[in-house]
Structure 1
Amino acid sequence: MFKRIALFLATNLAVLALLSIVMAVLQNYFGVTLGNTGGLLVMATVFGFGGSFISLMTSKWMAKRSTGAHVIDQPRNESEQWLVNTVRRQAEAAGIKMPEVAIYDGPEINAFATGPSRNNSLVAVSTGLLRAMNRDEAEAVLGHEVSHVANGDMVTMALIQGVLNTFVIVLSRVVGRVIDSFISGNREGGVGIGYFVIVFILDMIFGLFASMIAMWFSRHREFRADAGGARLAGRDKMIAALQRLSQTYGESTLPKTVQAFGISGAVGHGLRRLLMSHPPLEERIQTLRNAPLEQVRGTVVS
């Protein structure tokens, strides 16, 4: 936990330092007055990280509400008892507090994990998964989701999104002011209507590149969670679960807010792939098959 806080502080300070240098260069060497740069940095940090952390802190509540998930407080049947026992055993092996376990109504084979921390999380599976997968395959899927929690992926994703949001907010306004000053010839700090149009366009362009970076990390963490699932349930079980997904996969019915945390998600090719949260299932299966045996043994957290 302390390591992640230190990483957050160091990354945020590095971002602010870099942006301060860029602004100083523009002001001192190009004669462009950028206005209240300190206020801009504060505003960008508050809005950039604020939205990410509000989403993180409310993630469990939003997931339950948006999917209609039923949290298993007292198992009603043998299937629910098996789910709770399996997650408890895997959580103990991963060194995390027992997550809440839930079932949501969904026709596709899917599951997701969310929550504000490793010790305050939710693992949910779809009714479609319970119908279509055998116990070995379902165990591997649960291991995949528990690994997401143990790896701190929800927190790390919020940090990355906060940094990217800060960059987008600041760079779009700095670059917008520079472009507007050269077009209008006004370098004394005033802005015209063109500035706001330019900033709007730059927000979309920089936001697209930020999404590509965030989705690259999302795909990377899926490989790590697959390896974690293999450590908790067994490599053969994890491969079998991914193969089952590849045979029956359809469009996810999960809400957008939790789709990136599902066991599977939409994939694409070419440029479209850059905006996908999950790598192709064939690549995930091949990566597990090629992984050295020691990489699918031992602890979950790397």
Structure 2
Amino acid sequence: MKRIFLFLLTNMAVLLVLSATMNVLGVGRFLTAEGLDPTQLLIFSALIGFTGAIISLLLSKWMAKRSTGARVIDPQAPGNAREAWLVDTVHQLADRAGIGRPEVAIYEGAPNAFATGAFKNDSLVAVSTGLLESMTEEEVAAVLGHEVAHIANGDMVTLTLIQGVVNTFVIFFARVVGYFVDRVLLKNDRGVGIGYYATVIVCEIVFGILASLVVAWFSRQREYRADAGSAQLLGSREPMIRALARLGGVEVNDLPKTFQASGIASAKAVSAMLASHPPIEARIHALQAAQHL
């Protein structure tokens, strides 16, 4: 909670600095003179940018179960020995990480796993049948450790807040540019015209792509941290290295788009800069090179 508060405080400071900078440069006065209040636009952009991201986070567990068909295992009455082992392993890892015990689920599909949830003490860890069938218990435990580390690190919340920030900037700057084009370049002085709307649409696409680069970079960094977290929870980096090596040799199931960044691995992106996960080889190398593991 403290980290979330500091993160929100930092982002509020960024927005205030942006507003002050615009005023110093005269942009704010120009927009105000032209009938656009930059402060109101900034508040509007933040509300829209953060609202969607936060709602998605709050609904993430429900959406994950619905979109993947994941079946939550009853910890009091697991269906078989494998399910009992899964629940026990996740709960042991959660206890070591100092978080609440997540729900544990299984879904049908090729090798993958994911963690989601808005709160550390009310989360979900799900693994595919393909992953359970293609890995040893030690390797599966490493993958589970990776997912528990995501929860313990607060990665879902952090990525949501980052998404909210970039959404805010995309919405804000697209409208500022649209207003400039409509009023200054097209000389429209009768409210907003077609030039404004067309420019906003184009800018939201362009700025959205640039924002995706930022979000993807943060997503890749959290994968390295979760790999290291798994090694620390298990007391050895070797199980995670072997699990990653095995994932590198199989066809990874691409999760629904909403949860692609949450999986242990993801299908290749169009560009490495847009990938939510680093290459398997890079993740293995990072584990091997880490001095503190």
Asked if TM exceeds 0.5, the reply is yes
> 2:7 maps to which residue?
7
* Matches of 1:290 and 1:125, distance apart in 2: 28
The DSSP-based 3-state class of the residue aligned with 2:249 is: helix
Equivalent runs, 1:46-61 vs 2, <5 Å: 46-61=47-62
2:184 aligned to 162, 165, 182, which one? 182
Q: Indicate how the Cα distance of structure 1 residues 15 and 7 shifts in structure 2: closer, same or farther if over 3 A, else same.
A: same
Q: Indicate how the Cα distance of structure 1 residues 3 and 96 shifts in structure 2: closer, same or farther if over 3 A, else same.
A: same
> 2:164 maps to which residue?
162
Deviation at 1:257, TM superposition (A): 1.1
Q: Does the alignment pair 1:288 with 2:291?
A: no
* Matches of 2:177 and 2:274, distance apart in 1: 24
> 1:300 maps to which residue?
none
**What is the identity, as a one-letter code, of the residue corresponding to 1:273?**
A
Deviation at 1:189, TM superposition (A): 7.7
Deviation at 1:36, TM superposition (A): 3.0
* Matches of 1:132 and 1:254, distance apart in 2: 18
> 2:218 maps to which residue?
217
> 1:81 maps to which residue?
84
Deviates more, 1:188-197 or 1:47-56: 188-197
Q: Indicate how the Cα distance of structure 1 residues 158 and 169 shifts in structure 2: closer, same or farther if over 3 A, else same.
A: same
The DSSP-based 3-state class of the residue aligned with 1:53 is: helix
* Matches of 1:5 and 1:28, distance apart in 2: 32
Query: For the Cα contact (< 8 Å) 1:266–1:277, is it kept in 2?
Result: no
* Matches of 2:169 and 2:31, distance apart in 1: 21
User: Looking at both structures, which has the greater relative contact order when contacts are Cα pairs under 8 Å and sequence separation is at least 6?
Assistant: 1
Query: For the Cα contact (< 8 Å) 1:26–1:32, is it kept in 2?
Result: no
Q: Indicate how the Cα distance of structure 1 residues 121 and 31 shifts in structure 2: closer, same or farther if over 3 A, else same.
A: closer
The DSSP-based 3-state class of the residue aligned with 1:177 is: helix
Structure 2: unaligned runs, 5 residues or longer: none
Query: For the Cα contact (< 8 Å) 1:116–1:155, is it kept in 2?
Result: yes
The share of aligned pairs that are identical, in percent, is 50
* 1:62-96, Cα deviation, whole Å (9 max, x unpaired): 00111111101121111011101111111011010
**What is the identity, as a one-letter code, of the residue corresponding to 1:231?**
Q
Q: Indicate how the Cα distance of structure 1 residues 34 and 285 shifts in structure 2: closer, same or farther if over 3 A, else same.
A: farther
TM (norm. structure 1) is: 0.91
The DSSP-based 3-state class of the residue aligned with 2:262 is: coil
How many residue pairs get matched? 289
* Matches of 1:71 and 1:128, distance apart in 2: 17
* Matches of 2:269 and 2:216, distance apart in 1: 12
* 1:229-266, Cα deviation, whole Å (9 max, x unpaired): 1111220100000000001133x241111111000012
Deviation at 1:190, TM superposition (A): 3.1
**What is the identity, as a one-letter code, of the residue corresponding to 1:104?**
Y
* 1:143-202, Cα deviation, whole Å (9 max, x unpaired): 00000000000000010000000000001101111122221235x683221111011100
Moved over 3 A (4+): 27-32
> 2:107 maps to which residue?
104
Q: Does the alignment pair 1:278 with 2:277?
A: yes
> 1:263 maps to which residue?
264
> 2:94 maps to which residue?
91
> 1:137 maps to which residue?
139
* 1:263-284, Cα deviation, whole Å (9 max, x unpaired): 0012357xx1111100100110
* Matches of 1:189 and 1:281, distance apart in 2: 55
Tell me the C-alpha RMSD between the 2 structures.
1.8
* Matches of 2:45 and 2:190, distance apart in 1: 19
Q: Indicate how the Cα distance of structure 1 residues 134 and 9 shifts in structure 2: closer, same or farther if over 3 A, else same.
A: same
Deviation at 1:35, TM superposition (A): 1.4
